Amino acid sequence: MYRAPIKDLTFVLNDLIGDAALGGCARFADYSAELGASILEEAGKFAEEVLVPLYRAGDTQGARWTPEGVVSTPGFKAAYQAFADGGWNQLASDPEFGGQGMPRLLGTAVVELWAGANLAFKLCPMLTQGAIEALDLCGTPDQKQRFLPKMVSGEWTGTMVLTEPQAGSDLGQIRTRAAPAGDHYRLFGQKIFITWGEHDFTPNIIHMVLARIDGAPAGTRGISLFIVPKFLVGEGGAIGARNDVQCLSIEHKLGIHASPTCVMQFGAGAGAEGYLVGEPGRGLEYMFVMMNAARLSVGLEGYAVAERAYQQAAQWARTRVQGRPPVAATEGPAPIIHHPDVKRMLLTIKANTEAMRALAIYAASQLDIAAAHADEGRRAAAQARGDLLIPVVKAWSTEGGIESASLGIQVHGGMGYIEETGAAQAYRDVRITAIYEGTTGIQANDLLGRKIGRDRGAAMAALLADVAHELEAIVEGDPAVQAAKRGALEGVAELAQATKSLLGLLGNAQDRALAVAVPYLKLTGTVLGGWLHAKSAAIAARKLAAGSADADFLRGKLATARFYAEHILPSAEALARVVQGGGAAVAEVDATLI
């Protein structure tokens, strides 16, 4: 049974980051630690009481498609209605369109609860939020007024419609065409892998579709973005006739069975009516607004499922009696949580989850500052840092989620491989997260090429300087704090040297640099996780010294920080060695030999 990790989330929000981080952001003046705690508490109740009961049933029954193109998922429609009625879809949206205007860092914490409780359900509002952000930034005043209020309220949902059978990550190969038709366009084409592209939750679905206007140039420069509603929308948001949009089928997947992954046909007849967003040819640029929001949200899916896997594995380990550990309180068999290797596996999941959670919420706080701080220089610096961290959060956290879910199965032993225990579902569900919204390799290429290469490492250098300064300021006392600080500082030095090495390769041996892009991304995540664990340990030690009543929780923070420093951070040295010397071993191999 999943329990919302409210205490851990509150620690990150209020102690590790603190609401003072949003000082200078007038837009968030009403936000406070007390308000955040209240919202988290209610979100936890909704996750546990409404979403958790549908988790297993959604997996075993799955989404259902009919030849008429109707898609339903047992129990999910009522849950979604409760979600919308509760105002959860409005949390971080613009108050101008009915949103509550809460900061992204709180929204990130809340969305973790949806993902941990029921990942398949969480995907629908995630995509709606991405569509809202793209329209809010790039849409016309009429488009915003026509579509945003009902999308923000949750009365309508939204999708991202990119992929085609011949165009996966290479969106320049898109063939869906848009023919001008007066004040709108008619779209013709087929799209695949459209998450929640059809459902019975709401009376309308607003598709954000990439297509090529007739006569546009080939490649990415010819791609535009269109609003294509399932039902046409009149003045004041009135729903009109059915548009020429149909779900042809849904995919049969490894996991997230309750989330329909649709094959969508646009324009089987006269063409699907669509409305151009922004300028022609800038569709991919606008779609990246949605994708950036989605990449942060997918990253949190990784550690949200890791949290679920940890809770389930720990509970199993506390009750499963097998063998006698080397040191046992009683004679005979004991719960397996006393076995050293089981403790190691659980600590690995726990320490990685806490590191990934802290980094994602920190990245979200940077995006808040970038959007709302009064000082232009602070906004620019925060935007650069947020952009730098997005691919790390997305890829490092999802890879970590997969590893954690796999370890969760391992803790269960043979019973973990049996579906009835439920351990396998977490692994099956989380496996997709490292693939969609850009694979781990694509995120690593983005980190290296667009983020490190474009500014010659300036944003990374600024981040590492701040990290080193914060680490040096930590007062050592508790042995766990000392170990965490020492390990994190060593990691920072290794990451700085690896970055310098890669910058040299980008200029004259780009293939060798890209060959170690994924190890570099993992190095970055691992080192930043060490920094945040060291800060957490220092905070926990201070609170314990001050006589905090929550001593067990704080001692747990110290234990996980020490474990991370001594078991996980040492991998940074190996990753740095790969980054600095391993590129040629890939780049120089003839592809015919593989």
Catalytic residues: 437
Nearest to 388 by CA among 482, 486, 467: 467
- Using CA atoms, how far apart are residues 388 and 221, in angstroms rounded to an integer? 24
Contact assessment for residue 530 and residue 484, using Cβ atoms and an 8 Å cutoff:
yes
Tell me the C-alpha to C-alpha distance, in Å, between residue 200 and each of 81, 149, 236.
11, 20, 22
Q: What is the rounded CA–CA span in Å between residue 542 and residue 288? A: 42
Under 8 Å between Cβ of 243 and 187: no
Rounded Cα gap, residues 9 and 40, in angstroms: 8
| Alpha-carbon span 473 to 16, nearest angstrom | 15
Helix residue ranges per DSSP H, 320-420 = 340-372, 376-412
Q: Which of 481, 493, 488 is CA-nearest to residue 557?
A: 481
Q: Which residue has the tokens 């899916």?
A: 301
- The residues with which 157 forms a beta bridge, in sequence order, are 205
Tokens of 187: 């779209």
State how far the alpha carbon of 160 is from the alpha carbons of 182, 271, 545, in Å: 25, 19, 50
The two tokens of residue 511 are 């293939």
Dihedral sign, Cα of residue 229, residue 231, residue 235, residue 237 = negative
Structure tokens at 357: 């959670």
Task: Give me the residue label for tokens 């009516």.
Answer: 273
- 8 A C-beta contact, residue 159 and residue 131: yes
237 CB-near residues (< 8 Å, 6+ apart): 146, 147, 149, 150
User: In whole angstroms, what is the distance from residue 226 CA to residue 277 CA?
Assistant: 5
Q: What is the separation of C-alpha 48 from the centre of its chain, rounded to a whole number of angstroms?
A: 20
Q: CB-based contacts of 268: which residues, under 8 Å, 6+ apart?
A: 244, 246
